[in-house]
Chains A and B, each alone.
Chain A
Amino acid sequence: MTEQIPGATKDRVTDYLMRHKRYDNIDGTTEMFFGMMYLAFAINSYVSPVLAKNSFFHLGFAGMLLVMSGIVIPVLCLGAWGGKVVKKHITWPRTGYMAPRKVTQPIAPLILFMLGTAVAAAGLFFVVRYARPHNAVMLPRIMGIAAFVATYAFLVSRLSKEHPWKRFVALFLADSLVVYAIARPGVSNAEFFQPVMIFTGLVWLASGGITLYLYIRRAQPPALESE
């Protein structure tokens, strides 16, 4: 059968069904939120060691949670609130309002992901524990950098097809972190990751900021009688 059915191919339907995900980051708010998240964790890692040694902030896991709730959660809330403000005052008046559908996700992939992460973490622990000293230091760094770069590359490849320059940002992020890892071999992992998180957060923020700037330049609010 050779009948053409324009607009009705499976690929196009799949593309329409995925549009709302790309639209969610049309203004760069998702990237900026990730940037805030990295910066929040970086600030947290800088603050924790300088708190008084005998204070309750150092009471193991509970203390860690307390510090996190004082720093990470407020910064994340600020990021979420900022994203909503951008949507309400910039995005919706320009290209329209979209409320994503609340779909109950199947639980099996989540359980598989958590199991996979636990197995990977346990594997990494044993590799680091029994590896030679040099590898024990390098492995978490290599995996950390790979995870940071992969997160950016994955998200922008899915959400921003219309921004090819983001591939170069992903390359820039990867190159910079590898050069930094080579240039700073003699520090502890905690000291190593603090600037990495700040740099990664700033790259995410800059990427989101440029996306927002380009969006504002391209999309003008329509005349009031548009509906």
Chain B
Amino acid sequence: MNKQVRTFSEVDRVIHEPGRLMIVALLFAVERVDFLYLLHETEMNKGTLSSHLSRLEEAGYVEIAKTFRGKIPQTLLSLTDSGRQAFEQYRRKLKGAL
């Protein structure tokens, strides 16, 4: 098998999906954000964003915390250490493949 194709086949499928890649890249650059920020930056609808976040949480890449800002509920999101490592590895593989 061609080396480039093999590298592509080895990339993390959880992160490789375009919507989730966007979320992980946005989270990688920050400490913590809320759901509204991701909704605004990704321009996804709430359902799609929620399902991507659930998938990332299942994989252990994203930490989700439910809190309150005054009386308003707020969902805070951050990338876990393994999420950071997975994204860095994904970037390295992508760079090598391209």
Contact of A227 among B8, B28, B41, B73 (CB under 8 A): B73
Interface residues on B, range: 35 or more
Q: Does A101 contact B (CB under 8 A)?
A: yes
Distance between A96 CB and nearest chain B CB, rounded to angstroms = 3
Interface contact B33-A96, CB-CB below 8 Å: yes
Interface contact A19-B26, CB-CB below 8 Å: yes
| Apart from A23-B41, A98-B32, 12 more pairs, CB < 8 Å | A5-B16, A7-B21, A10-B98, A18-B29, A20-B29, A96-B37, A97-B32, A97-B37, A98-B33, A98-B34, A99-B32, A101-B30
Contacts of A108 in B (CB 8 A): none
Contacts of B5 in A (CB 8 A): 1
- State A9–B18 Cα separation when bound (angstroms): 10
Q: List 21 A-B contacts (CB under 8 A).
A: A5-B8, A5-B16, A7-B19, A8-B16, A8-B18, A9-B98, A10-B95, A13-B94, A19-B26, A19-B41, A95-B37, A96-B33, A96-B36, A96-B37, A97-B76, A98-B32, A99-B31, A100-B30, A226-B35, A226-B36, A227-B74
- State A92–B37 Cα separation when bound (angstroms): 8
SS class of chain B's interface: helix, strand, loop or mixed? Answer: helix
List residues of A (1-15) whose CB comes within 8 Å of B's CBs: 1, 3, 5-10, 12-13
Chain A count of residues within 8 A CB distance of the other chain: 30
Query: Which A residues contact B (CB, under 8 angstroms)?
Result: 1, 3, 5-10, 12-13, 16-20, 23, 92, 95-102, 219, 222, 224, 226-227
Contact of B33 among A3, A10, A99, A219 (CB under 8 A): A99
Contacts of B2 in A (CB 8 A): 1
